Structure 1
Amino acid sequence: MTGAQAGAGVVAPVAAVRAAAGPRTAAGVSAERSAPGAVGTAAGAATATAPGPSGPRPSRTGGDDAPRPSAAEIYLEVRRSPAFQEVRRRYRRFVGPATVLFLTWYLGYVVAATTAPGLMARPVVGPVNVAMVACLGQFLTTFVLTWAYARHARVHRDRAALELRWETQQMTREAGVDR
């Protein structure tokens, strides 16, 4: 599934939130936002305004007095979306097995160091023994796992997550939600 396909699951929540946000002008801006401090909307319904940092702000109701979604409602809607679920599934499919593998390797090293000192003291090359090689392997594994996680995120999740973030920010802006 491509990032665009994963992001397509956000369209339904976006449409639902946009519908609840009230009437829109040709430019795509909600009617009460098109003229700050305006008393009416494109539908002719009056809206109350509240002063904001850059002048009066429209109330959180749409042109038909339908309440606009809150930030919590928007984020919950995005969280329920198939695109978000796909990003989380891809994350869990990498992190779960990687965590189990690394913890098994680490605990194996600790158990071997405490229960088999003769094995760990066995020389490999000159003064370097099995314990030193295993310890360096722990460090190497950490770096390899970090690289693999970053690559997996870049290849499999970043684009879809960025599209979700963009859609969520757009939804909150359109709903007039302050952060």
Structure 2
Amino acid sequence: MTTRQHDSSVYEHIQGEERFQELKRRFRSWAFPMTAAFLAWYLLYVVLSAWARDFMGTKVFGNINVALIFGLLQFVSTFLIAWAYSRYAEKKLDPVADEIRHEAEGTTE
């Protein structure tokens, strides 16, 4: 058996394990809803910019209007989501992924 065939059989075995399936489930249960929420938030910004120009042009203070605040909040929400994901991954994903990786490396060496 060549190394390439051996590696693929190891990865196929890992993919079939319950821990790997749980790791995928944990990732998807966080990433998919968060992605949907962010896209909805972004779409709201685009829709309001296109069809609620009066509202978006409302001055909050000085030359700062609602559209500018919403635009800046897009950046803030992006960084908050990235920070939240890193914390989630550190607690829920990385330990399981590390275990699986160490076992796979031990199997292939």
Question: Runs of 5+ in structure 2 lacking a partner?
Answer: none
Amino acid at match of 2:9: E
| 1:131 aligned residue | 67
Instruction: Tell me the distance in 1 between the aligned counterparts of 2:30 and 2:61.
Output: 35
Structure having the larger proportion of residues in helix: 2
TM-score by length of 1: 0.58
Task: Output one character per residue of 1:21-42: Cα deviation in whole Å (capped at 9) or x when no partner.
Answer: xxxxxxxxxxxxxxxxxxxxxx
TM-score by length of 2: 0.94
Question: Runs of 5+ in structure 1 lacking a partner?
Answer: 1-59, 61-68, 174-179
Instruction: Tell me the distance in 2 between the aligned counterparts of 1:125 and 1:115.
Output: 22
- TM-superposed CA distance for 1:125, in Å, is 1.6
Establish whether residue 143 from structure 1 lines up as the match of residue 98 from structure 2: no
Larger RCO: 1 or 2 (CA < 8 Å, sep 6+): 2
- TM-superposed CA distance for 1:127, in Å, is 1.4
| Alignment root-mean-square deviation, CA | 1.3
Instruction: Tell me the distance in 1 between the aligned counterparts of 2:65 and 2:20.
Output: 48
The list of structure 1 runs, each at least 4 consecutive aligned residues, that deviate by more than 3 angstroms after superposition, is none
Establish whether residue 105 from structure 1 lines up as the match of residue 44 from structure 2: no
- Give aligned pairs, total: 107
Which of the pair has more CA radius of gyration? 1
- TM-superposed CA distance for 1:166, in Å, is 0.3
